[in-house]
Structure 1
Amino acid sequence: MTTLTGPGTLGSPTAPARPDIFAAHEQVWDRIARYSLLTAIFLSGWGLLRVGQINLTFSDLAFLVSFTISGLRGRLSATPFRSLTPFWLTGLVMMLGGLFIGSVVNGDPLRWVNIALQYTVAFLFIPVLLMQQEERIIRTAPLIFMLGITCSEVIGIAASFFLTFHDTLHWLGDGFITGNGRLGSMAGQPNPNGAVVAFSMPMLLYAMRQRLIGAVGGFACLILLLWGLMLSASFTGFAASLMAIFVTLLLMGVRYIFRLGLGAMVAAGLFLASGAPLPKAFQERVGNAVESGDIDQAGTFINRSQLIQEAWGFAEDNVIVGMGVDQYRELSAYDNPVHNLFLLIWNEGGAIAFCGLILLLGLLCLLAANGLRIGRDRGAMAVAVVLVFLVYTLSYPHMYSRMWVMPVMVALAVVYTPRRAARPQGSVRLIYARPVGPQPLPEL
């Protein structure tokens, strides 16, 4: 029996209360931290809203505000995954350590610093903050994320009616609406746009199942998300969305599949009866591949497969010491990193970094699967969201952006944040609050 053991008591009832610099306006600061976190979740898929040209988005700023206040208030979880936390930290240290060794020997250590900070925020700071939130806040987090992506799609869809690539190029970049008519919306590029839609699908189904959103509102969000997905013309996003919907419905139960399946059939019938054409970019990049069964017609699949073949050729020379952070792009004949996280980490960080990545992903799968024992609906959402993340590890380079990690941690937090009574007034505050995390694991 493998059990996640809880930490010991972190404070003594007889210990004197530590001074709290926020005591005079504690409710105000708590609200600022709470709403900053919800804002960060809402905007986590809006990669276009960033500070200058650096990888610091408005979502990151809101998250840092919440993290700072929560840290000063002693509201961070020292062990977000309970007894699995040492394994999680080991995986993260191994991955970053392998990349560091490769960067020192073959690359530029300064580039490693940037990557290390990004991965630390995504894979450590986010769960440290999320896993300590109250249940009533975390319960609505999937709805907040889904509504953020829906609003992004609304903006993109509306813009596509009135604006062209040349109209948006100066203000919103070349990814909001691409030259061939694909829609990136506020995600900034079409492929990430398809990814955040795929993440949103199981969260929408969960929100409808838990009555966090009404049937009419949920159906409207579903239509907008599917519309944005088609305009993004992302084959990976289309495939990941279908898998996420199928897995979520399958794990939630047969009756739920029948009810939503009937609604989907009615919606599809109405669309076909209307005679409305598919977006041209979607038909060229996705529709033709589906109709013919030839994956070579799926967008840039051929180019990505060439990068993967090249990466396999590099791999045997980077087993012990990798080539270093961002060195793959410089050594590649195609001037691009391989769109496969496993091969990229292996080549840039060697076997040590690769084993760290495998450990992290393995823990994500274990936590999601164990969630089915805790709550069927919550576990189904977590499994589907982690599945989408795994799909994109096979088709994307480094995944430290918060648009990749935030939905995964939100889904896991919904599963593992227990219901707790409200904090009584005048209670002693701890520098490090009691951590919240997973429950006992099944027998292995």
Structure 2
Amino acid sequence: MISSETLKRPRSSLESAEFFCVVLGVLFSSFASLRHPGASFTVSDFFITFGLLFRFIRAIPLYPMQAASSMWWLGIAMLMTGLLIGSIAYGDPVDAVVVLIQYFFSFVALPLAILGRPHKEAVLLAKMGVMSVVISCLVGLGAYSIGYNGGHRRQLALVAGNNRLTGLTDNANAFAAIIVLWFPVLWYLGLVRAYKMITFACFFALTFTGLIFTSSNSNLAGALISGAIYLFLLGKFRIFFIWSAVFAVTAWVGVTFADKILPQKFVERVLSPLQQGNIEGVGTFSDRAELMIEAWRFLPDYYVLGMGAEQYRELSSHDLPVHNLYLLLANEGGLMSLMGLLFLYLAAITYATLAGPDTPHRTAARTTVITATLTFAALMVSFTHIYHRAYLVPWIVSIGLLYSPMRPDWLHKAQARGGT
């Protein structure tokens, strides 16, 4: 049995270094601009890697999601195996290795680095993640306000050539998705009073403004759906009606005074087509629809044995991957890969459902994880492979909020054996 003195012992230097690295990894997670120009390896990945190495020296957290961990590991194994088999049969094994390494880092290394922490540490990581996207919004909006335009720059554009906000992410749609994925975590921090109300209001207003300036119709819809799910699952209908009224008033003001208060790109790309009932004119809807139709035509030939990782663009008449993760995985990795992704979603929801009574703010944490999972799942109808860590960190950080306030079981066992 572990004594209370053991649980309250001072943090060792190795633990401090490990947690510091993970904190920096989460803080830099939305700064995709800060990366090696020739590889998809960011500053955030650098810190996460060292944090994970330091953690492995102490103990390996094989069950970071407790009873749901096996389902998570099974899911990522199925996803990667489907892609590997397809690549061996039809595709290029070299391309497969690159993709599989990325998926391994995102769905195996990240959870091992972030999950299984005391609640206080989990909340700090959540705050660092929200601060990450807040900083990115501030930098991007600051550049936009002085008329800066990054043109065709591939890194640190801040504002794309078409006047859409990219922040420190270098892609407007990706930046919008990252903002939306952090919303449930931000709402959790406000709900449990981890932020003062004025801080929460300022952060939410700033990030929502950043979302508007990205002019991303699909992610704006995702934000509205995410908010509705969160309020519904929370079960506090008075809050639901209050926020519904706030949204209705905000929408009315936005539509009525659009030319004065909304960015011109948002009006042209999102608002005007919706007002005119021209769905095909909303963003790149028609182009993506053509890719999805093509993917459905490929599917009968590849749903059992996929075409292999990164092979869709080689076979497509458009020379592009389909912007729908489910169709892309079903074609490149077969139904095995697609089912693996669904197992990942199920693992997160199962973990939330099984959260014990000692979980701090259990209702809020459950609501946050389920909302984050469903939001992630909904946004993936507009994205290709999602192994970039900026998309995964908010989801995994939200899952970390479910852990009990005490040190995790795997660390207890390590200490009992004489570990640090």
TM-score normalised by the shorter chain: which range applies? 0.7 to 0.9
Inter-partner Cα distance in structure 2 for 1:268 and 1:214? 26
- The question of 1:316 aligning with 2:300 is answered yes
- The question of 1:120 aligning with 2:104 is answered yes
8 A Cα contact 1:249 1:257, kept in partner:
yes
Go from structure 1 to structure 2 and tell me whether the alpha carbon gap of 1:161 and 1:372 turns closer, same or farther (over 3 Å shift).
farther
**Correspondences of 1:317-396 after superposition (within 5 Å):** 317-370=301-354, 375-396=362-383
**Correspondences of 1:234-253 after superposition (within 5 Å):** 234-252=216-234, 253=236
Q: Match for 1:61 among 29, 46, 55?
A: 46
- The question of 1:99 aligning with 2:86 is answered no
Deviation at 1:344, TM superposition (A): 0.7
Inter-partner Cα distance in structure 2 for 1:255 and 1:360? 33
Go from structure 1 to structure 2 and tell me whether the alpha carbon gap of 1:53 and 1:419 turns closer, same or farther (over 3 Å shift).
same
Deviations 1:312-332, CA, capped at 9 Å, x for gaps: 111111133211111111111
Deviation at 1:361, TM superposition (A): 2.6
Q: Match for 1:398 among 385, 392, 403?
A: 385
Inter-partner Cα distance in structure 1 for 2:165 and 2:240? 30
- The question of 1:277 aligning with 2:261 is answered yes
For 1:407, the equivalent position in structure 2 comes to 394
For 1:315, the aligned partner's letter is: L
8 A Cα contact 2:66 2:351, kept in partner:
no
Go from structure 1 to structure 2 and tell me whether the alpha carbon gap of 1:171 and 1:102 turns closer, same or farther (over 3 Å shift).
closer
Question: Can you give the 5+ residue segments of structure 1 that lack an aligned partner in the other structure?
Answer: 1-11, 14-24, 434-444
Secondary structure in 2 matching 1:255: helix
Deviation at 1:86, TM superposition (A): 2.7
For 1:222, the equivalent position in structure 2 comes to 204
For 1:20, the equivalent position in structure 2 comes to none
Inter-partner Cα distance in structure 2 for 1:274 and 1:330? 42
Query: Bigger shift: 321-330 or 364-373?
Result: 364-373
8 A Cα contact 2:116 2:408, kept in partner:
no
Q: Match for 2:167 among 185, 204, 213?
A: 185
Inter-partner Cα distance in structure 2 for 1:254 and 1:355? 35
8 A Cα contact 2:69 2:347, kept in partner:
no
Go from structure 1 to structure 2 and tell me whether the alpha carbon gap of 1:315 and 1:33 turns closer, same or farther (over 3 Å shift).
same
8 A Cα contact 1:372 1:380, kept in partner:
no
Inter-partner Cα distance in structure 1 for 2:407 and 2:58? 18
Deviation at 1:179, TM superposition (A): 1.8
For 1:66, the aligned partner's letter is: G
- The question of 1:299 aligning with 2:286 is answered no
Inter-partner Cα distance in structure 2 for 1:193 and 1:69? 30
- The question of 1:429 aligning with 2:415 is answered yes
Deviation at 1:388, TM superposition (A): 1.6
For 2:16, the equivalent position in structure 1 comes to 31
Question: Can you give the 5+ residue segments of structure 2 that lack an aligned partner in the other structure?
Answer: 3-9
Inter-partner Cα distance in structure 2 for 1:409 and 1:151? 20
For 1:439, the equivalent position in structure 2 comes to none
Deviations 1:224-260, CA, capped at 9 Å, x for gaps: 1111111100011101111112222222212333555
Go from structure 1 to structure 2 and tell me whether the alpha carbon gap of 1:369 and 1:281 turns closer, same or farther (over 3 Å shift).
farther
For 2:123, the equivalent position in structure 1 comes to 139
Inter-partner Cα distance in structure 2 for 1:177 and 1:278? 16
Q: Match for 1:156 among 140, 144, 152?
A: 140
Go from structure 1 to structure 2 and tell me whether the alpha carbon gap of 1:287 and 1:369 turns closer, same or farther (over 3 Å shift).
farther
Deviation at 1:283, TM superposition (A): 1.1
For 2:337, the aligned partner's letter is: A
8 A Cα contact 2:280 2:286, kept in partner:
yes
Secondary structure in 2 matching 1:353: helix
8 A Cα contact 2:65 2:116, kept in partner:
no
Secondary structure in 2 matching 1:316: helix
Secondary structure in 2 matching 1:184: strand
Inter-partner Cα distance in structure 1 for 2:40 and 2:238? 44
Deviation at 1:379, TM superposition (A): 1.3
Inter-partner Cα distance in structure 1 for 2:407 and 2:74? 33
Deviations 1:86-130, CA, capped at 9 Å, x for gaps: 332222222211111111121111111111111111111222232
For 1:195, the aligned partner's letter is: A
Go from structure 1 to structure 2 and tell me whether the alpha carbon gap of 1:259 and 1:143 turns closer, same or farther (over 3 Å shift).
farther
Inter-partner Cα distance in structure 2 for 1:427 and 1:348? 41
Go from structure 1 to structure 2 and tell me whether the alpha carbon gap of 1:250 and 1:26 turns closer, same or farther (over 3 Å shift).
closer
Q: Match for 2:404 among 415, 418, 422?
A: 418
Deviations 1:349-369, CA, capped at 9 Å, x for gaps: 123222222322332333345
Deviations 1:276-304, CA, capped at 9 Å, x for gaps: 33111111222124323443222001100
Secondary structure in 1 matching 2:138: helix
TM-score of the aligned structures, taking structure 1 as reference length: 0.83
